[in-house]
Structures are given as structure tokens and as C-alpha cells.
Amino acid sequence: MWRYILKRIGFIVIALFFVSLITFILIKSAPGNYIETERLITQNLTDVNVPPDVKEAWEKMYHLDKPEWQQFLIFLGNAVKFQFGPSFKYPTKTVENIIVETYPVSLTLAGLAMLLAIVIGIPLGILSAFYKDTLIDRIAIFLSMIGTSIPNYVMAVFLIYILALTLHLVPSIGWGQPVNYVLPVLSLAIGPIGSITRFMRSSLIETLNQEYIKVARAKGGGFIQVVIQHGVRNSLIPLMTVIGPQLAYLSVGTLFVENLFNIPGLGKFYSSAAVYRDYPMVMGTTLFFAGIVMFVNLLVDIVYGLLDPRIRKLDMNRS
């Protein structure tokens, strides 16, 4: 087990190296730089010409005067210590401080959305599987298809229109009150609801066709005993592999929704960093997100092993 985990961590480190390298090359080859972009966007000036001495001083401050391979090495050396230096746009804060401050916001959004998706998706999937090929099933499939195919930012606009502008149930904008969570969480949850429902359905249908389900029925089990205790239980383990990475992707993928609702989460900083050519910010956040996704995947695989008695017992016997 430990060998396996160490090996996986090794792969993660290698993968993160390549993620940094590719991001570095991409961002460096994108035209423009921060001080020019900043002039255009923030100061609304039409010429991009920065006084040469200003530009030189600025480049020196961020080591941008050095050859690019040296810049990359400096970045790597600091990244190992989880230091990405001050952001261009927010020079008073380091990138790692911004991450630590804003990621919890994104994670909370994603976590709530995931929770909602689990609470709705699992029962919906169970119903759908149990009433396979009936009207209930068709409706559930239709809803989950809508959920998975409509992007969350489109859903967000739709929800704003219905819940905020037409029904006046919630404010369309603002942050800080619990009620402000409603729209973003709903729009983020739609996709996972769809995928959890579909996964639960297909996984449970497969389980319900197993011989041991028939055995459970022959023992006199009803819906609770057969479908929930014998069926769903076995479908929940593979569902883990869907929920874990989904949560990671979701916490990374909140950027559209954060921008739309003006929520100070990491996604908002992430997307604006790319626009402003805020190199440290882009590098730091990309690496952080990539790391999160990979780490959660590893975690899911470990937990999966712990949940499956076949793997768990074998491992205990070996050690």
C-alpha cells in the first residue's frame, strides 16, 4: 500500500513538473505583458508604450530581465516551497496568500453544490434504476441529460432570470449573506446532479441484475433490504470515484460562476490573471489546481481500496 502511494505521489510530482513547463511556455508565448495590458484595460489608454525605464525597473524586480530558462528554474525552486512570489496585479500580496484566502470560497461553493448534487442525484438515480424504462425513469434521464449538457454559466443566467428577476426569491447579486449562495450553488450543482443520477442509475441497474440480488429477494427482502442494503451499497463504492474528482474539478471550475456573480473566489482571480498576463498568478493557480485534482484522485483511489473488503483484507494480511 505505502509503496503504491509513494509511486503515485512520484507520478504526481512528474506530472506537476510538466504542467508547469507547458503553462510557462504557453503564457510566455502569449502576446503582450502585464504593464502594457494593465494600461489598456485599467487605465483606458490607447497607446501601450510604457516609458522604457519604468518597464526595465519592473522587469528587473520580477526577474523578467533574465533568460527564460532561468526564470523557469527560479519559479521551480520557489514552487517547491509553495512560494510563487507577489502577484503583478496585487503587488502587496503573494500568490500563495491569495490562494489561501480565496480558495476556501471556491471550495465552499463546490462543496455545497456537490452536497446538493449527492442529495438529489443519488435518490433520483435509485428511482430511475428501480423504475427502469417507465415514465419516472424517462423523466429522470431527461433531467440528468439537461443537467450534464447545459454549461453552468448558461444555467446561472437562466436561474437569475427565473429566481431573481421573475420570482424575486433571491437577490441576483451580492456576497456575504447565506442567501447569496443559492444561485451560484444551484447553477454549479446542475451538472453533477446529472452525472451522479446517470452514474447511480447505470451502476444500480447493473447491480440489480446480479445473482445475489435475486438471492436477496428469495430470502424475502423488500425494497429497503434488496435495493438499498444489497444494491445501493455496492453502487456507492464506485460512485466515490465519480464524486471525488468531480468535487475537485468543480472547485476549479467555478470561475465562470464566480465571475458572473462577482464572487471573490480563486476562480475569479485565476481567470483575470490570464487576461492581465499576471505570470506568477497564472503559474501559481494552475499548478495549485492541477495539484488538487491529482491529489483528490489519489485520495479517491486509496479510500476506494479501504471501502472494498477484498482489497482491504488482502492488504491487511500482507502487512
Binding site for another protein (CB under 8 A): 210-212, 214-222, 225, 230, 233-234, 237, 308-310, 313
Show the cell assigned to 21.
513547463
**Shortest Cβ 132–another protein spacing (Å):** 8
Neighbours of 233 (CB within 10 A): 11
Residue 155 neighbours by CB distance under 10 Å:
20
Q: Of 49 and 209, which CB lies nearer to another protein in the complex structure?
A: 209
**DSSP conformation class of 42:** T
Q: How far is the CB of 229 from another protein (least distance, A)?
A: 8
Q: How far is the CB of 295 from another protein (least distance, A)?
A: 27
Q: How many Å separate Cα 93 from the centre of its chain?
A: 24
Q: Are 110 and 250 in contact (CB under 8 A)?
A: yes
Q: Measured between alpha carbons, how far is residue 191 from residues 19, 118, 132 in Å?
A: 26, 11, 22
Nearer to another protein, 177 or 210 (CB): 210
Name the 3-class secondary structure at 86.
Answer: strand
Instruction: Assign 94 to helix, strand or coil.
Output: strand
CB of 219 to another protein, least distance (A): 4
How far is C-alpha 152 from the geometric centre of its chain's CA atoms? 13
d(CA 73, CA 86): 17
Name which of 230 and 277 has its Cβ closer to another protein: 230
Task: Give least dist CB 238 to another protein, A.
Answer: 11
Give the shortest CB-300-to-another protein separation in angstroms. 17
Q: Cα-flanking dihedrals φ and ψ of residue 83, to 5°?
A: -125, 125
Q: Decide whether 47 or 211 has the Cβ nearer to another protein.
A: 211
Question: Can you tell me the distance from the alpha carbon of 99 to that of 234, in angstroms, rounded to the nearest whole number?
Answer: 37
Nearer to another protein, 11 or 223 (CB): 223
Question: Any residues with CB less than 8 A from the CB of 25 and at least 6 apart, and which?
Answer: none
CA distance linking residue 204 with residue 202, whole number of Å: 5
Residue 306 beta carbon to another protein: minimum distance, rounded to whole angstroms: 13
Nearest CB to another protein, comparing residues 60 and 313: 313
Which residue, 202 or 271, has its beta carbon nearer to another protein?
202
